[in-house]
Amino acid sequence: MTIVSLLSEKSLERQLHEQLCQGQLPDCFLYVGQGAGNWLALDRSPRFGIASGLTELLRRNVGEVARLLARWPQAGDSRACDEIGHKLDVLSVGVGEGIKERILLDALLPLVRVRYLAVDISRPLVEKALAVVAHLDIDSVGVVSMLEELPRLRCYRQRPTVLCLLGNNFCNYEPTSLLDMLRRELAPHDRLLLDCHLCPEGPPADGWRRRVEASYRNQTNVAFNLGPLVQRGVRPEDCQFQLDLELVPGPHGDVFRTFKQIDILRDSVVRLGGQLLPLRHGQRIQMGFTYKYRPSQVVGLLADHGLGILGQWSSEDGENLLLLAGRTK
């Protein structure tokens, strides 16, 4: 098992200290340290059905996805990759435990030779993702890295590559900056595989909104979001997690976005790499977000950045979407 670390625990603690000093707690730090275990608890929680719904959508459609990926993607050449001596790189960023990637690899291996790169900010999660595929006859490499460091991964990649953003990762970033980067990293013959938890088309139902807010406000998710502070010395009763789902303007119409924050209820101290950072009563720490696009909005955003849809699969309730995309020029 080969793991390359582009991040160290020391550098992550330093970055977290800098962010907290600015009243910010980006979501990537939720997965660091003990956060990996908190995430796995949330990922498996029956009260947080977003993860399981996306996994089931991939499981039901992975045969068609694999057949599309196994074809030689250059224009005018429909042979399978193996017929012309090519491997397919599967590069998954924000891989987590790697269950979805294992489903994809199981479907690909009978069709094409595969090399697997599992990328996550959490080394324990990278180790789990590699362990899940340890029995498969493939070359696999783990990389401890943030999504923003994707350009640094070029030296570990070969062509063609399918770049995976699974587990709703796509929705946790501002779309313009993310898609600009993805577009630069995709060669004409590469592919992008992503999934999203959505707001169904049409006027949003109050029941859908209440159900989504309840899912994000469940106690397992609260513990996950408070984790970076609690594991560094803040008592859970001394802070409070807040989440709201609001409509905001977007390039393809209004879109729902989560607003998350932690309110400090009592003076506390965070211990970060040997440093003590005081948190004062009344202080508010802003966190990351998740967009709840409609399907047409996701397709429109990709088209805006020169990415066309090659395959599209949806759940029956219209809340989960799986897309395979490639460059249109």
Distance between CA 56 and CA 100 in Å, rounded?
9
pLDDT at 64: 97
Whether the predicted pLDDT of 215 surpasses 50:
yes
Q: What mean pLDDT is reported for the chain? A: 92
pLDDT > 70 in the chain, percent: 95
Confidence bin at 60 (pLDDT 50/70/90): very high
pLDDT band of residue 79 (cuts 50, 70, 90) is low
Is pLDDT of 281 > 80? Answer: yes
pLDDT at res. 72: 56
Domain locations in the chain as residue ranges:
2-200+294-327, 208-292
Is the pLDDT score of 45 beyond 70? yes
Overall average pLDDT of the 9-23 stretch:
93
Average pLDDT of the residues in 226-251: 96
pLDDT value at residue 75: 40
Single pTM value for the model:
0.93
Q: At what angle do helices 219-230 and 35-43 cross, to 10 degrees?
A: 170
Q: What's the confidence (pLDDT) of residue 71?
A: 80
- Owner of token pair 């513990």: 223
pLDDT at 167 over 60: yes
Strands 191-197, 161-165: pairing is parallel
Question: For 2-200+294-327, CATH number?
Answer: 3.40.50.150
Tokens, residue 259: 């607003």
Judge whether residue 320 has pLDDT over 80. Answer: yes
Output the pLDDT for position 84.
44
- Give every CB contact of residue 211 below 8 A, 6+ residues apart in sequence: none
* pLDDT reported for residue 74: 45
What is the per-residue pLDDT for 44? 87
Contact indicator for 120, 87 with CB cutoff of 8 Å: no
pLDDT digit string (tens) for 155-164?
A: 988 879 999 9
How much is the pLDDT for 186?
A: 95
Mean pLDDT of 211-235: 95
Task: Of 139, 77, 149, give the one whose Cα is nearest residue 114.
Answer: 139
